[in-house]
Structure 1
Amino acid sequence: MVVDAHIHYFDTPRFAENLVKEMDGAGVDWSCLMPTLEDSTWEYMHLTFKDVTNPFVLEACRAFPDRLAGGIRLVPTEPGAIAELRKFADTGFFRFVKLFPPQQLPADDEHILPFYEVCAEYGLPVLFHMGQTNGEYTEKQKRTRMHLNSAYANPIHLDWVAGMFPELRLIIAHNGYPWYLESWAVALAHPNVCMDISGSGPWTEGIPVVYTALGGAAFIPIDFDRVLWGSDNCLPQKESIARAVMYLRQMGANKQQRTNILGETARGLFGLR
Structure 2
Amino acid sequence: MTNRAIQAAPSAPFGVATRAGRRHAAGDGASTDADPSGNQDAAFAGPTWFVVADGMGGHRRGDLASTTVVETFATAELDPVDPHTAVTTLCERADTAVRRAAAAAGEPGMGSTLVGLAESPIGVVVFHVGDARCYRLVAGELRLLTRDHSHVQELIDAGRLTTEQARTHPLRNVVTRALGIDGDARPTVSIVDHRPSRFLLCSDGLTAELGPRTIGRVLAGVECPEQAAQRLVELAFEGPALDDTTALVVDTPTIGENDRGAGPHEAAAR
| TM-score, structure 2 as length reference | 0.32
The answer to which structure has the higher helix fraction is 1
| TM-score, structure 1 as length reference | 0.32
The answer to which structure has the higher strand fraction is 2
